[in-house]
Each structure stands twice: as structure tokens, then as C-alpha cells.
Amino acid sequence: MQTPPKDAELDHAVGVLRLLGDRTRLAILAMLDGTEMSVTAIAESLGRPVPAVSQHLAKLRSAGLVKVRKEGVTSYYTQPDEHLAGLVTNALELAEHALYLEPPHHRK
């Protein structure tokens, strides 16, 4: 029999999952997997206004889910955690399994 997770672990995991429950934040984290992007580049890729993307990035940063590097007036964001990257990838691949007979991540 497995021991249940501790309350603090569950609370933190629920907080992370709530942040991932927003499509813009999930898209941002998926785009940042293994790369660094400016706020402007993220906003352009998503077709969203820079201020809106900045607000989402602020929430992710305060939770420790992204890191920021300043270069002059430009902020560059990365998603530095391999466990978070795996969680994002798994969530999106799970969605592909629900939506496609042959999920895109299985195609070569």
C-alpha cells in the first residue's frame, strides 16, 4: 500500500495544475520548452496583446514556473524545470490521444 502524498505536496500540485488550467499559460509553457523567448515573441506567436501575455508570465513567474532574464528593456523567459516540461508535454499528448485516431506525437 502506498503512502498518500503530504498535504503541502498536494497543495502545491493543485496550485500548479490550476495555473496550467488556463489555455494561454499552458501554451506559453509549451512554447518555452527548451527555448527562451521574449514577451513580444510569445505574444506574437499566440496572437495575444503583450500586456495580457505579461500578466500570464507574471503569474507563472511568481509560482516559479518560468524564469526571466533581462537584456536592456527586453525580458526573455524560459521554462527551466524538466518535471514541468514533462507535465505540459504529457497533458498535451493526452489531449491528442482523446482527439485523434493516430495522435500527432506518434506520427513520424
What's the mean pLDDT in 39-59?
97
- Under the banding of pLDDT at 50, 70 and 90, the label for residue 45 is very high
Is 102 within the bounds of a domain?
Answer: yes
- Under the banding of pLDDT at 50, 70 and 90, the label for residue 108 is confident
Judge whether 39 and 50 are in contact, CB under 8 Å.
yes
pLDDT at 34 over 90: yes
What whole-number distance in Å separates Cα of residue 24 and Cα of residue 29? 9
Is 56 within the bounds of a domain?
Answer: yes
Q: For the whole model, what pTM was predicted? A: 0.92
- Give the DSSP H or E segment for 84: helix 82-99
What whole-number distance in Å separates Cα of residue 24 and Cα of residue 43? 10
Q: Could you read off the pLDDT of 62-99 as tens digits, one per residue? A: 999 999 999 999 999 999 899 999 999 999 999 999 99
Is 2 within the bounds of a domain?
Answer: no
pLDDT at 1 over 90: no
Is 52 within the bounds of a domain?
Answer: yes
Judge whether 55 and 39 are in contact, CB under 8 Å.
no
Domain CATH number, residue 73:
1.10.10.10
Is 25 within the bounds of a domain?
Answer: yes
| Domains identified in the chain, total number | 1
Looking at residue 91, its pLDDT comes to 96
Is 12 within the bounds of a domain?
Answer: yes
Is 1 within the bounds of a domain?
Answer: no
Say which residues have a Cβ less than 8 Å from residue 29's Cβ, sequence separation at least 6: 20, 60, 65, 66, 79, 84, 85, 88
